[in-house]
Chain A
């Protein structure tokens, strides 16, 4: 299982309020929420993102609220994987549960730049930066997580 796309790069402590501002949480329609994803720190994101693109953050990505709308909006925007140095724990759990692949890799977070063409192999945890011709070793997914991601989320995987 792999993902490949262009990188959208952010810094430390990307919080759930900037991923999806609470003023839009009067709906649980994730396609609608995707239109406002990241807008408070990256106003053009929703217009620029292409299906398959990759998001890269630094430490404590997804801190703040427990809103599952945050990983769901990222996923609905077309992002295929989020890479960060570390993730906030509720965001990490929520992302897996809704079938958004996320991977911790400090080296990748340091070296990848915005716009790089990056590929991730979830079985091995190897991240390949085709633009810079580099590879980074991230945390690989155990089988049960691969199963959740392939099933498009926890609840589907339980069926």
Chain B
């Protein structure tokens, strides 16, 4: 093993200088039995070595900045750099969440504006910015729904319905609240099966969790009817906002009949994904659920005329606890830095957020058309088939690579790996599970026509290649195909030197 951060042979002391402690004798205040005997085996390297180490690592990492990232369901759109600049401001970076309200009026004003904006875009009545990821938003909303049923004495409602095409976080989040999961099959065309839903609901239904457009990228035309079925059984409708990028300004979960919704600020509102996070997963709810929201929310009071207030808009901003709040799901008030980035992103579009969704949908349909209509002189082994027949898709679409697998033995995974050689991130692989050999593409609104044209062209070239090249792909990446089974079998989860015994 070479080139890990633990292999440097440089400085034996910390390479980075610090001021001296204020006193010399403080250590004597720690009882002797509690003192650490042996310092951790952390790297011993200087700043020049570390900057180069991490720069080299970054060069072995693929991001939106390095190339097209059509990872379906993840909305990998461009991250404007203005937003990164703004969060370096000490007015957010050097703020403590427990500072009194008078000291953080600017932050509260941004929170208030974001609560209002998200409520407007989703047709909800109240919004909390506390959940720090989409999955935590789901969990929070289901907790609110749970308290709603309890308050009404409906303790027997112990089941949550999810379609089989739902994101895995939906059943996992409901299960963490103690609910049993009823999975209902999709209809043959991938859409919600209303008959299956009718036979699944009952007086034990607490909620249904569903995303629309579905994970197949198709709008559910019968969503209002689905909501009606669940509501008439006394259940609540939960909207998974992972696919919100498709519908802003065109429709909203409120109109569709939902009672609660989460937003992924890292998808729709471009908080950078950072290799796996941070995210931000605010939720919005209808009036009847609002008193259960996590605490606190931000509200404001109009100041007497003539007093413009700290932020200059004539209002005093303050925290407010919902009457029957479930309390906290995160220690503080959410990922404030992500909220501020999302605020800066939304301000670029303002009332024209609709244009963003239009272009996300335009690009998805265009890419789908380009891929499904190759020029005839290519020697493609087998064309994919659409995961779901639809005249138009929304922001993403699915393709099944089964015909290729049948013709050549090449799987969806092989195609995905080969795309890496062409300088692309692979689409989402094998999700949703109801589409065999599934690839899910989401180009987002920030890719140009030329990128989409070139991608379709390269995709076709791959489908015409010698299967052997695909089966052994990738060939040009920093490492070849990684053996995941080996990793799970050997479980080398840290640098092996001086491993503490368990």
Chain A bound to chain B: no
